């Protein structure tokens, strides 16, 4: 699903049907969700510098609308793109587990905490399975190792590892609710991924440190 104003929409047309809608259009979202098994919800205001006025429409109202539409149309599951920003206020030395309390440092992170709460509410009270993925820094190995790249390595997830994680969340037939943390197989991961390995068989292949011979 796209809004219609995104650049290079033609790049995704070969992967399936592309439909147009907006997260604020609840009735339109219901039409989009008709006959759908699993919704992968990636849309959001993405900036960590976002104001309340910026996160409110898409990250708060829009997320609620999407879950409501999926429930109304009998979708089996929603996979929600949360973020490590929901828990990024813990100290640099602590490894964060998926069952640690939310602890954001910005309103973008606050909005992702709300999305995780929606996952739990709809899973426990509305009967639709929901999995939240706290996605780290989405970077290719080439981008990670670029000279001017300042993204901390312990929070990186590469495209093929994130793809695998999302697919495993779609294919799982047992879980009603879960929160998993999206990291690659980095030896110094800031966010623990052991439950994703155990519960859905996640096997990330990339280690940004190994690529540098460390």
pLDDT per residue as tens, the chain (214 positions): 999 888 888 888 888 899 999 999 999 999 999 999 999 999 999 999 999 999 999 999 999 999 999 999 999 999 999 999 999 999 777 899 999 999 999 999 999 999 999 999 999 999 999 999 999 999 999 999 999 999 999 999 999 999 999 999 999 999 999 999 999 999 989 999 999 999 999 999 999 998 565 5
Put residue 52 in one of left, alpha, beta given phi > 0 → left and psi -120 to 50 → alpha: alpha
Is residue 52, in this structure, part of any structural domain at all?
yes
Is residue 5, in this structure, part of any structural domain at all?
no
Report pLDDT for 11.
Answer: 87
Per-residue tokens: 32: 């989009």
Per-residue tokens: 74: 């009998």
DSSP per residue over the chain, as a string? Answer: -B-S--TTGGGTGGGS---B--TT-HHHHHHHHTT-SEEEE--S---TT--HHHHIIIIIIIHHHHHHHHHHTT-SEEEEEEEGGGSTTS-TTPPBPTTSPP--SSHHHHHHHHHHHHHHHHHHHS--EEEEEEE-EE--HHHHTSTT----GGGEE-HHHHHHHHHHHHH--S-SEEEEEE--S-TT-SB--HHHHHHH-------TTGGGT-
Please report, for the domain that includes residue 186, its CATH number: 3.40.50.720
Is residue 12, in this structure, part of any structural domain at all?
no
Is residue 165, in this structure, part of any structural domain at all?
yes
Is residue 10, in this structure, part of any structural domain at all?
no
- Tell me how crowded residue 78 is: count the other CB atoms within 10 A of its CB: 27
Is residue 30, in this structure, part of any structural domain at all?
yes
CB distance 134 to 86 below 8 Å: yes
* Number of domains, the chain: 1
Report pLDDT for 212.
Answer: 60
Report pLDDT for 7.
Answer: 82
Q: Which residues span the domain enclosing 35?
A: 23-212
**What is the C-alpha to C-alpha distance for residues 192 and 183, in angstroms, rounded to an integer?**
8
Report pLDDT for 211.
Answer: 59
Is residue 17, in this structure, part of any structural domain at all?
no
Is residue 203, in this structure, part of any structural domain at all?
yes
């Amino acid at each position: 699903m796209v809004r219609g104003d995104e650049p290079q929409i033609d790049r995704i047309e070969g992967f399936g049907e592309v439909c147009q809608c907006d997260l604020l259009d609840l009735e339109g979202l219901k039409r989009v969700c008709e006959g759908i098994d699993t919704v992968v919800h990636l849309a959001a205001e993405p900036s960590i510098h976002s104001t309340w006025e910026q996160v409110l429409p898409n990250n708060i109202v829009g997320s609620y609308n999407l879950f409501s539409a999926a429930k109304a149309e009998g979708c089996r599951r929603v996979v929600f793109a949360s973020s490590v920003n929901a828990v990024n206020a813990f100290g640099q030395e602590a490894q964060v587990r998926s069952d640690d309390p939310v602890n954001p440092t910005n309103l973008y992170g606050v909005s992702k905490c709300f999305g995780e709460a929606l996952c739990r509410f709809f899973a426990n009270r509305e009967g639709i399975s929901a999995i939240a993925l706290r996605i780290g820094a989405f970077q290719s190995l080439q981008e990670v190792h670029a000279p001017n790249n300042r993204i901390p390595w312990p929070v990186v997830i590469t495209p093929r590892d994130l793809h695998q994680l999302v697919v495993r969340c779609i294919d799982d037939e047992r879980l009603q609710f879960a929160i998993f943390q999206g990291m690659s197989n980095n030896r110094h991961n800031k966010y623990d991924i052991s439950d994703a390995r155990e519960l859905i068989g996640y096997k990330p292949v990339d280690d940004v440190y190994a690529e540098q011979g460390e």
